Amino acid sequence: NAGVTQTPKFQVLKTGQSMTLQCAQDMNHEYMSWYRQDPGMGLRLIHYSVGAGITDQGEVPNGYNVSRSTTEDFPLRLLSAAPSQTSVYFCASSSLGSGGGYTFGSGTRLTVV
């Protein structure tokens, strides 16, 4: 089925460890983005990309890196995990210019201990 695939679904990290959250979409969407969702905070934008080789920061980019080497993939890297990065992470994509809604992945629940 077409859509946005995120892996892993769950992850526990120790403080200071690094890891990459994977996101892939098969809809040929130009736009991809990462959000984090915390209780009572709604969703906050971390990074986004409007095409291969083009990325930009969102509202809460500190502690995260992204790259976009292909249209399909948009991985999110945690450089040195901190307990404050405990959250649920969502990847979303959309077709630029369509004025349409975003397609979200099912999320990665990350706990940093």
In this structure, what token pair is assigned to residue 47?
């990074």
Q: Which range in 16-24, 67-75, 76-84, 102-110 contacts another protein by CB under 8 A?
A: 102-110
Contact call for residues 88 and 41 (beta carbons, < 8 A): no
Cα-flanking dihedrals φ and ψ of residue 54, to 5°? -125, 120
Q: Which range in 11-19, 21-29, 35-43, 72-80 contacts another protein by CB under 8 A?
A: 35-43
Nearer to another protein, 17 or 71 (CB): 71
In this structure, what token pair is assigned to residue 60?
């809460």
User: From residue 79 to residue 98, what is the string marking binding to another protein with x (rule CB under 8 A)?
Assistant: -----------x-x-x-xxx
CB neighbour list of residue 67: distance below 8 Å, 6 or more residues apart:
55, 75
Q: Cβ-count burial of 102 within 10 angstroms (0-12 exposed, 13-18 middle, 19+ buried)?
A: middle
Nearer to another protein, 85 or 94 (CB): 94
Closest distance between another protein and the C-beta of residue 23, in Å? 11
> Which residues form the interface with another protein (CB under 8 A)?
4, 31, 33, 35, 40-45, 48, 50, 58-59, 90, 92, 94, 96-107
